[in-house]
Amino acid sequence: MENIREILKESIFEVFERMFFIFLEPGGRVLVHDYETSIGFDGPRRGTLRILFTRPVARLMVRNMLGLENGAVTETHVEDCVKEAANMVCGNFLVNLDASKKFAMSLPAFSARPGQAPALSEGVVAFDFDCEAGKMGIILTLET
């Protein structure tokens, strides 16, 4: 499981630095987020990847990805942008996990609702990150 944690961390760092120009650092646990995007995968391993964002982080992602001013960012931009982030993080994670195997990924889902992060349990890998705009979290659930 420790190896999976490292692969997941590297995957999210790579995507956020290269696509969103956001440099993440490990941060403290946050229970409430504004947006969530999730994507399922199936293959040699099956599971779900969820990424949780606060509004300022999501807005910064859109601004950096699309080169928009704060006032030009819409909820539609946010949904599209964070779904693409989930797609890229999950795809990179799976390739880094085992590039020789074929995984199928679902289409990303999105929800805009303040909610609590789930309690951690066996088979769940979770990270919380800080960046210049605030906090975000990532939760990987692997089915056994």
Give the binding site for another protein (CB under 8 A): 14-15, 18-19, 62, 65-67, 77, 80-81, 83-84, 87-88, 90-92, 94-95, 98-103, 105, 107
Minimum CB separation from another protein for residue 70, in Å?
16
Nearer to another protein by Cβ, of 64 and 115: the residue is 64
Minimum CB separation from another protein for residue 122, in Å?
27
User: Can you name the residues that pair with 105 across neighbouring β-strands?
Assistant: 41
For residue 118, give every residue at least 6 positions away whose Cβ sits within 8 Å of its Cβ, in sequence order, or none: 124, 139
CA-to-CA distance for 33 and 35, rounded, in angstroms? 6
Using alpha carbons, select from 115, 118, 120, 122 the residue that is nearest to residue 144.
122
Do 83 and 37 form a contact (C-beta atoms < 8 A)? yes
Minimum CB separation from another protein for residue 36, in Å?
17
Nearer to another protein by Cβ, of 51 and 62: the residue is 62
Minimum CB separation from another protein for residue 116, in Å?
28
Nearer to another protein by Cβ, of 18 and 29: the residue is 18
Amino acid identity, position 42: D
Give the gyration radius of the chain's Cα atoms: 14
Nearer to another protein by Cβ, of 103 and 129: the residue is 103
